[in-house]
């Protein structure tokens, strides 16, 4: 048997900046009402806003270990993965009032109901920003059709863009917690309204088994048709 080292020059060492999109009912530019994509129609997406800093997926996974401390100490003999309760955390420029009803659990910039209410579910997608970049360093639209597949600026994906597509994160269902909003009195960088936002992922039983929380990469590879034929 041969054991071969990887070619270290071929290893991807950075993903880069991420961009967050949310699902909407239509492709119209004015439609910025977030929805939960139900797989029966096309998945239309709108860019959420500008971030500054790291975007983090917190898996919050849990594993139950079986040990025999009187025989073999604390080393697990068996382990059961109990699942995950993931959350996406990111710093967002939140000075635009149109963002406030989106980044909220009830889909409203206001608060105060007579009774408790269910959250408003929505679908979120995180793309590597470099996926949208062409060879001349311009940024173009990313598009998809079942017939033609993925394209950037009307061109088929390059090998590098295809790799970035495989790093895309699709959070099929969840809700936003309401972030703190600060009226900053500083100037320059001290006055930037960048707030920490948190999206809590939930199970979506419309998705295939193994993808109820999220999918990484091209969903069509796993039988999830973004044009709505799932």
User: Strands, E, within the chain: which ranges?
Assistant: 18-24, 44-47, 56-58, 61-66, 78-84, 87-93, 122-128, 142-145, 149-152, 155-156, 169-176, 194-201, 214-216
- pLDDT tens column, 131-185: 999 989 999 999 999 999 999 999 999 999 999 999 999 999 999 999 999 999 9
Average pLDDT score over the chain: 95
CA distance 7 to 172: 36
- 29 or 67, higher pLDDT: 67
pTM of the model: 0.95
What pLDDT is stored for residue 230 in this prediction?
46
């Amino acid at each position: 048997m041969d054991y071969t080292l990887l070619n270290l020059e071929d290893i991807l060492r950075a993903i880069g900046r991420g961009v967050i999109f949310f699902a909407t009912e239509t492709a119209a530019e004015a439609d910025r009402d977030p929805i939960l994509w139900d797989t029966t129609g096309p998945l239309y997406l709108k860019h959420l806003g500008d971030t500054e800093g790291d975007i983090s997926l917190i898996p919050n996974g849990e594993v139950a270990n079986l040990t025999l401390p009187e025989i073999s100490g604390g080393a697990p003999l068996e382990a059961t993965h109990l699942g995950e309760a993931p959350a996406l955390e990111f710093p967002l420029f939140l000075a635009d009032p149109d963002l406030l009803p989106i980044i909220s659990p009830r889909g409203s910039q206001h608060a105060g109901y007579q009774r408790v209410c269910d959250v408003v579910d929505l679908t979120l997608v995180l793309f590597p920003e470099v996926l949208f970049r062409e060879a001349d360093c311009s940024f173009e639209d990313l598009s998809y059709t079942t017939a033609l597949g993925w394209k950037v600026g009307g061109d088929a994906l390059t090998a590098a863009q295809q790799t970035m597509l495989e790093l895309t994160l699709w959070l099929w269902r969840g809700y936003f917690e309401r972030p703190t909003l600060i009226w900053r009195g500083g100037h320059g960088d001290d006055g930037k309204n960048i707030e920490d936002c948190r999206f809590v992922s939930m199970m979506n039983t419309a998705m295939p088994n193994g993808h109820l929380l999220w999918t990484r990469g091209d969903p069509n590879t796993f039988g999830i048709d973004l044009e709505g034929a799932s």
